[in-house]
Amino acid sequence: MKRLGKVNTISHSGKLIVQSDFAPGVGFNVFDGRKNLVGKVASVMGPVKNPYVAIYPKGRRGDNLLRYINMDLFIQEDRRGRR
């Protein structure tokens, strides 16, 4: 697994925002340090060298997303993590 970055903030629409060192593909699964599925990459935006990645969190809309702030997130390096 490859480190994606730390969660900086949560958008008004409920997506997790991460600043990364690379641009992952849309649709890749995102995991926490314990390899639990957190969500999927929704979009990549911003500068090419340090893009921001928006992640659709899994689970219900009312879940407490604040627990993800400052958490390191990861993606699978190969294409098998994509659906």
Residue 15 lies in a domain: yes
Residue 64 lies in a domain: no
Residue 47 lies in a domain: yes
State which residues form the domain around 7: 2-59+70-77
What is the rounded distance in angstroms from the CA atom of residue 65 to the CA atom of residue 69? 8
Q: How many residues does the chain have?
A: 83
What local confidence, expressed as pLDDT, does residue 19 receive? 95
Residue 82 lies in a domain: no
Count of C-beta atoms within a 10 Å radius of residue 15: 18
CA neighbor of 49 nearest in space, from 22, 17, 77 = 22
Spans in the chain with pLDDT lower than 50: none
CATH code for the domain in which residue 11 is found: 2.40.10.230
Measure CA 26 to chain center: 10
Domain count, the chain: 1
* Tokens describing residue 72: 């390191």
User: How do residues 66-81 score in pLDDT, each as one tens digit?
Assistant: 999 999 999 987 655 5
